[in-house]
Amino acid sequence: MRYVLLIHEPREQRETRSEAEGRALYAEMVAFGDSLGSQLVASHSLRPDRHGVRVQVRQDKPALRDGPFTESKEMLGGFFLVECDSLDAALGLARHCPAARFASVEVRECAPCYVK
């Protein structure tokens, strides 16, 4: 089964780190991804939500909305897509993710894809 580990981090937290602190933390996250071996399907860090754009189409008319999108204290900062035998196994990986120290790691099972 595939699970996604979603990193929800406090908004503006990145700006409080020095460049050296940011690089060190990024290196930790890369090392964590490397440690997952064949369980890792994909992973990415995401730019802050102020760089995002949402697209909605209503009555055939597109609407674009620049980020940030909600009045929340957190943003989606990145993800790891992993292959695990069970939810417990995915939760075990999440507990070892460095992001769990400064953010929260949401674990979600991926729904099956139906392709014709």
Q: How far is residue 103's CA from residue 93's CA, in Å, rounded to a whole number?
A: 15
Tens of pLDDT, residue by residue over 102-116, are: 999 999 999 987 766
61 falls in which pLDDT band (50, 70, 90)?
A: very high
Q: Is 115 domain-assigned?
A: no
pTM over 0.95: no
Q: Is 58 domain-assigned?
A: no
Q: How many domains does the chain have?
A: 1
Q: Is 104 domain-assigned?
A: yes
- Half-sphere exposure at residue 93, Cβ-oriented, CA atoms within 13 angstroms: 29
Q: Is 51 domain-assigned?
A: no
Domain that holds residue 22: 2-45+73-109
Contact 33, 43 (CB under 8 A): yes
Contact 99, 92 (CB under 8 A): no
Q: Is 57 domain-assigned?
A: no
User: What's the CATH number where 99 sits?
Assistant: 3.30.70.1060
Q: Is 50 domain-assigned?
A: no
> Which letter does DSSP use for residue 61 in this model?
E
